């Protein structure tokens, strides 16, 4: 699948050793979202209250955007508010890499991700199983904070999960490449490893970037349509052909693939938005989508 822009290539060496004492700090607190815990909790609380979604059936997967909360927070909250009253032991977050390109999915080696709201601990046992099942899915810190600048697309999902789920463990995954074989491999592995577990998969993505609002809506409709049809192959074709754009298309495809394996039967588009609705500038917007995959 063609990338939306050229990224530097970094080799990725498999390392089966975990580092339970390693904790990734909140690099984007104070920029993408508030760094003060009280301010952050209040902002997320208001976003969730203003963007309520009720889904009675069991949610296996979610799609949520990863821009600054000022722009995409309402769209993200519409997805995460659907988790109210639900319980998961583990959340697997699949995020794209914007900062480095590598031919693998990087499973975080460390023991925790930090946010201003506290520490989210890694499900070390599940992470080890996921990282030792397929050669394209390996332990690596690259994509999390190595191989260039830190990656934001996973971190920004966590405060919403902390506010809606409270206590849960995390498996943080960053896709360094969104090629067909990696998408399928991750979908297969998650479908197998999460069976009979109380687990949620979150796919992190934004949609088209820096088109006028009308063009963005046309491009983004292709993503929405494929997601609503619960068809990862259609989504792949839309992006590979250039008919649509999404920086996290690969995570969404793997999420759909795994969700189907785990018994999800349908997809629901929850909300579509774009940055111009906040900035007032419709000349160059970024599109956002939230969706749920349910049994």
Whether residue 18 lies inside any domain: the answer is no
Whether residue 141 lies inside any domain: the answer is yes
Is residue 74 exposed (0-12), middle (13-18) or buried (19+ Cβ within 10 Å)? buried
Whether residue 22 lies inside any domain: the answer is no
Token pair recorded at residue 116: 């201003």
Whether residue 127 lies inside any domain: the answer is yes
The CA distances from residue 2 to 137, 218, 241, 251, 287, in Å, are 20, 19, 9, 15, 19
Note down the domain range covering 41: 28-294
The CATH number of whichever domain residue 137 belongs to comes to 3.40.830.10
Position 146 scores a pLDDT of: 65
Strands 266-274 and 285-294: antiparallel
Q: Per residue in 138-152, pLDDT tens? A: 999 888 986 667 899
Q: How far apart are CA 135 and CA 185, in angstroms?
A: 9
Q: Measure CA 60 to chain center.
A: 14
Token pair recorded at residue 8: 């530097």
Whether residue 147 lies inside any domain: the answer is yes
Q: Both ends of the chain: CA-CA distance in Å?
A: 29
Strands (E), the chain: 19-24, 59-64, 90-96, 105-107, 110-115, 118-121, 137-139, 169-175, 199-204, 209-211, 266-274, 285-294
Indicate the number of domains in the chain: 1
Residues of the chain short of pLDDT 50, as ranges, are 1-15
149 sits in the region (left: phi over 0; alpha: psi -120 to 50; else beta) called beta
Whether residue 13 lies inside any domain: the answer is no
Whether residue 224 lies inside any domain: the answer is yes
Torsion of Cα atoms, 52 then 157 then 255 then 94, to 10°? 180
Sign of the CA dihedral 282, 287, 288, 291?
Answer: positive
Token pair recorded at residue 1: 């699948």
């Amino acid at each position: 699948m063609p990338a939306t822009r050229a990224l530097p290539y970094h080799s990725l060496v498999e390392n089966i050793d975990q580092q339970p004492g390693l904790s990734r700090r909140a690099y984007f607190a104070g920029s993408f979202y508030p760094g003060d815990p009280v301010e952050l909790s209040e902002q997320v609380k208001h976003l969730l209250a203003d963007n309520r979604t009720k889904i009675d059936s069991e949610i296996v997967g979610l799609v949520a955007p990863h821009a600054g909360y000022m722009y995409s927070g309402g769209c993200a909250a519409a997805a995460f508010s659907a988790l109210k009253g639900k319980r998961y032991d583990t959340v697997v977050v699949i995020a794209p890499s914007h900062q480095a390109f590598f031919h693998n999915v990087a499973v975080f080696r460390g023991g925790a991700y930090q946010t201003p709201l506290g520490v989210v601990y890694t499900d070390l046992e599940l992470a080890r199983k996921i990282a030792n099942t397929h050669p394209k899915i390996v332990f690596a810190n690259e994509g999390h904070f190595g191989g260039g600048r830190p990656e934001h697309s996973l971190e920004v999902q966590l405060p919403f999960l902390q506010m809606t789920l409270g206590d849960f463990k995390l498996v943080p995954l960053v896709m360094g490449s969104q090629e067909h074989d990696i998408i399928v491999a991750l979908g297969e592995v998650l479908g197998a490893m999460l069976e009979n577990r109380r687990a949620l998969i979150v796919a992190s993505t934004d949609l088209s970037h820096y088109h006028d609002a009308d063009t963005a809506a046309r491009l983004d409709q292709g993503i929405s349509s494929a997601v609503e049809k619960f068809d990862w192959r259609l989504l792949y074709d839309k992006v590979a052909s250039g008919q649509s754009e999404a920086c996290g298309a690969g995570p969404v495809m793997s999420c759909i693939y795994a969700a189907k394996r785990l018994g999800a039967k349908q997809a629901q588009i929850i909300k579509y938005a774009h940055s111009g609705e906040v900035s007032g500038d419709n000349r160059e917007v970024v599109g956002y989508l939230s969706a749920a995959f349910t049994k």
